[in-house]
Amino acid sequence: MKEKMKAQVFYKPEDMRLEEVNIPQVAADEVLVEVKVCGICGSDIAYYWGLSPLETKQGRGPLILGHEFSGELVEMGETAKNRSEFKKGDRITIDPVQYCNTCKICAQGKVNLCPNATVLGVSTNGAFAEYVKCRYTNVYKLPSNVSYEEGTFAEPLSCAIYAIQKLEVSLGDICAILGPGPIGCMMVQLLKRTGAGKIIMVGTRDYRLRIAQKLGADEILNVKEKDSTWYVENLVDRIKSLTKGELADKVICATASQEAAQQALNISGRGSTVVFFGLSGPNDILKVPLLQNHLLDKNIRFSFRSPFTWNSTLKALSGIVDTHSLISHQLNLEELLKGMDTVRKRKEKVMKVLIKCNKRR
């Protein structure tokens, strides 16, 4: 194997360079993956433009970003060879969150909260490169009917599944989602399989709302574009009209918007559950009228990462969730900055941008 690879190396906000760097050397418990495709996540955008709400060592350069990816397993350390069920040439995807499995939090099964976790593309080198390494325990085989492009959705889909699990939907529930981005649109499809009675998608752009409708949303509401066919001036009143005055049983906020988070609380009714998924800013505040929500006996929850959801994720990728319809752009590794600019500025009806990292496909 050649010793060098191409990688997009992030140094500091608005400074990322395509460089020739050393191919990672694997330890005994690691594998080397030839990256085929890597998706651009909102966190990649935040790190590049210095907008991340996380005041930690995460997203600090020099670092190779990118954590939503799939590829081919090309090398294995000795422990990985002896203990794993994988072999060279396997088509795989990766859980980028590498928790320690030794601390008190991990022992309690709260691995998504592990204080010692490393995350590919966040705290250690990721997949906007021709090759990436990771622990063998984080590797999952792609189903035979799932393409490399579709495999890039495994990580965000696993997060969506965890959030839907926390929603605890019952048959016939009226469910509302705020945010028709790629994850919100995957949540629509997941809710369809839970037996939800009606799914309402709330957003600010018609083209995304149309995709949500195509994928199963029963009602789409636009709270921003006044010339939209689906424009709604008063969201609470509109939700009441769709629920015989009862508001929504289950609400999930799949966006980081502070305004949307407040709306999620406002449109939830008696005995409802509200799950906040989008990662808000450090100064964002949610105002919770205590008596009103107490009397409605609401459940307010948050969803972070994706503990123990990956087996379900692979099944969902294999026929339950349509991810292909969410791909709007495919670019080469050299065009990563163009892709990130497209995502940030919402150009060209962007939905999901995928980066083809290795031309030897």
Q: Is the pLDDT of residue 185 over 70?
A: yes
Predicted confidence at residue 358, as pLDDT, reads: 84
For 35-62, b where at least 16 C-beta lie within 10 A, e where not — what string?
Answer: bbbbbbbbbbbbbbeeebeeeeebbeee
Query: Which domains can be identified in the chain, with CATH numbers?
Result: 4-153+323-356 (3.90.180.10), 160-302 (3.40.50.720)
- For the chain, give the mean pLDDT: 95
Give the 3-state secondary structure of the chain. CCCEEEEEEEEECCEEEEEEEECCCCCCCEEEEEEEEEECCHHHHHHHCCCCCCCCCCCCCCEECCCEEEEEEEEECHHHHHHCCCCCCCEEEECCEECCCCCHHHHCCCHHHCCCCEEECCCECCCCECEEEEEHHHEEECCCCCCHHHHCCHHHHHHHHHHHHHHCCCCCCEEEEECCCHHHHHHHHHHHCCCCCEEEEEECCHHHHHHHHHCCCCEEEECCCCCCCCECCCHHHHHHHHCCCCCEEEEEECCCCHHHHHHHHHCEEEEEEEEECCCCCCCCCCCCCHHHHHHCCCEEEECCCCCCCHHHHHHHHHHHCCCHHHEEEEEEHHHHHHHHHHHHCCCCCCCEEEEECCCCC
Q: How many CA atoms lie within 13 A of 29 on its CB side?
A: 5
Q: Is the pLDDT of residue 361 over 60?
A: no
Q: How far is CA 141 from CA 40, 81, 86, in A?
A: 21, 15, 8
Predicted confidence at residue 60, as pLDDT, reads: 78
By residue count, the chain amounts to: 361
pLDDT tens column, 214-260 = 999 999 999 999 999 999 999 999 999 999 999 999 999 999 999 99
pLDDT tens column, 40-94 = 999 999 999 988 766 555 667 899 999 999 999 999 999 999 998 999 999 999 9
pLDDT tens column, 145-176 = 999 999 999 999 999 999 999 999 999 999 99
Predicted confidence at residue 204, as pLDDT, reads: 98
Q: Is the pLDDT of residue 39 over 70?
A: yes
pLDDT tens column, 248-302 = 999 999 999 999 999 999 999 999 999 999 998 888 999 999 999 999 999 999 9
Q: How many CA atoms lie within 13 A of 231 on its CB side?
A: 7
- Count other Cβ atoms within 10 Å, centred on residue 233: 8
Q: Tokens representing 6?
A: 């191409």
Q: Is the pLDDT of residue 126 over 60?
A: yes
- Count other Cβ atoms within 10 Å, centred on residue 215: 21
- The identity of residue 59, as a single letter, is G
Q: Could you tell me which residues come within 8 angstroms of residue 327 by beta carbon, excluding any fewer than 6 positions away?
A: 149, 351, 352, 354
Q: Tokens representing 34?
A: 């030839």
Q: Could you tell me which residues come within 8 angstroms of residue 178 by beta carbon, excluding any fewer than 6 positions away?
A: 184, 202, 203, 251, 252, 253, 254, 255, 257, 260, 261, 263, 264
Q: How many CA atoms lie within 13 A of 186 on its CB side?
A: 27
- State mean pLDDT over 185-211: 97
With CA atoms as reference, report the closest residue to 146 among 70, 86, 202: 70
- State mean pLDDT over 328-354: 97
Predicted confidence at residue 54, as pLDDT, reads: 60
Q: Is 11 left (phi over 0), alpha (psi -120 to 50) or beta?
A: alpha
**Residue 254 and residue 187 in contact, taking contact as beta carbons nearer than 8 Å:** yes
Q: Name the pTM for this structure.
A: 0.96
